[in-house]
Homo-oligomer: A and B are copies of this chain.
Amino acid sequence: METDRLEAFSDGVLAIIITIMVLELRVPEEHTLAGLLDATGIGLLTYVLSFVYIGIYWNNHHHLFQLSTEVGGGVLWANLHLLFWLSLYPFTTAWMDESHLALVPTVTYGVNLLAAAVAYYVLQATIKRRPGGHRVREALGRDTKGKLSPVLYLLGIGLAFVEPWLALVPFVLVALIWLVPDRRVEAFLERERSGSTT
């Protein structure tokens, strides 16, 4: 029961984050294709990227809370902590865009991505320690993707110092590895269901 409202609130925040990013896209002053590319060229690319990230978080969040049936104060705050970092995406995305991938804004974006990944990890760990947390542990297994993502974000931050746009390579890579449908939770739930039938 409690989980319902936490999920509804998180869905609301994620839905708003994913949608208001479009308000940061500046409407081009010239009415040409060149004007569109000039005003929003990088903007549209990073808009897609941030959109995909938020989509991935929603997806994973959704799976995570299918496994946990009750939440306590700790989970509530760990969840808000995650939402905090995600809520900054429109801001750091806009700054990076408007700077046309300058060093500091790109690193700031990377740090934002990293902080959200760490916050997600903390949320997951908090849920694992709760009664019933063994289901999360079993379902997620070794969680290779979850461990790889922060490493790739760190790599991106490092590469930015060589050449800012290089940072986007590992950033895009993170999005791609999560786009591959993740069957762990569904598979676990199926195993569980068939197990209870036997």
Contact = CB atoms under 8 A, between A and B. Distances in A.
A16 B12 contact: yes
Secondary structure class of chain A's binding surface, majority of residues: helix
Interface stretch (A21-29, A115-123, A146-154): A21-29
B20 A13 contact: no
B18 A51 contact: no
A33 to B, nearest CB: 6
A104 B181 contact: no
Contact of A186 (B20, B72, B183): B72
Contacts of A87: 18-19, 21-22, 51
Contacts of A31: 95, 99, 102-105
Interface in A40-73: 48, 51-52, 55, 58-59, 62, 66, 72-73
Interface residues of A, number: 61
Interface stretch (A2-10, A135-143, A155-163, A166-174): A2-10
* Chain copies in the assembled complex: 4
A15 B9 contact: yes
Interface in A100-136: 102-105, 108
Contact of A181 (B14, B15, B48, B74): B74
A23 to B, nearest CB: 7
Contact of A51 (B5, B12, B59, B84): B84
A102 B36 CA distance: 13
Interface of A: 2, 5, 7-9, 11-25, 27-28, 31-33, 35-36, 48, 51-52, 55, 58-59, 62, 66, 72-74, 76-77, 80, 83-84, 87-88, 90-91, 94-95, 98-99, 102-105, 108, 179, 181-183, 186
